[in-house]
Amino acid sequence: MKKVKITSSERALSIIKSPIMTEKSTTLNQFNKYSFFVTKNSNSQEIKQAIENIFKVKVIKVNTLINRGKLKSFKGSLGYKKDQKKAIVTLSEGNTIDSSLEIK
């Protein structure tokens, strides 16, 4: 059995950058799944604890993915966009997160 390190409230607020408000993510809200941009060095256990601490809900599952930065040209020179890590959080029945709230 693994020991899970409890994250502090400061660390919890620094893990979650912002909620994702796209058409695809809002359709997932019907199934109690919410999407967030998170820091790249966070793992699923830390994300789960952060969501539970900030929003006071029960998290069932956390899926993470990393979007690699695309190659773009900026004023004639080539460059890359930043990599972003996303977390899709599944909540238990009866729990919801208000989408209009901002995380500062």
Q: Is residue 96 part of a domain?
A: no
pLDDT value at position 73?
92
Beta carbons within 8 Å of 14's beta carbon, 6+ residues apart: 39
The string of pLDDT tens digits covering residues 10-54 is 888 899 999 999 999 989 999 999 999 999 999 999 999 999 999
Structurally, the chain folds into a number of domains equal to 1
Instruction: Give pTM, 2 decimals.
Output: 0.83
Beta carbons within 8 Å of 77's beta carbon, 6+ residues apart: none
Would strands 84-91 and 16-19 be described as parallel, antiparallel, or unpaired? unpaired
Q: How confident is the model at residue 74 (pLDDT cuts 50, 70, 90)?
A: confident
The string of pLDDT tens digits covering residues 62-72 is 999 999 999 99
Q: Is residue 15 part of a domain?
A: yes
pLDDT value at position 36?
95
Here the CATH number for the domain that contains residue 62 is: 3.30.70.330
Q: For residue 54, what are the domain limits?
A: 9-91
Written as one letter, the residue type at 91 is L
- Structure tokens of 91? 């909540």
Q: Is residue 4 part of a domain?
A: no
Q: Is residue 99 part of a domain?
A: no
Q: In sequence order, what are the beta bridge partners of 74?
A: 77
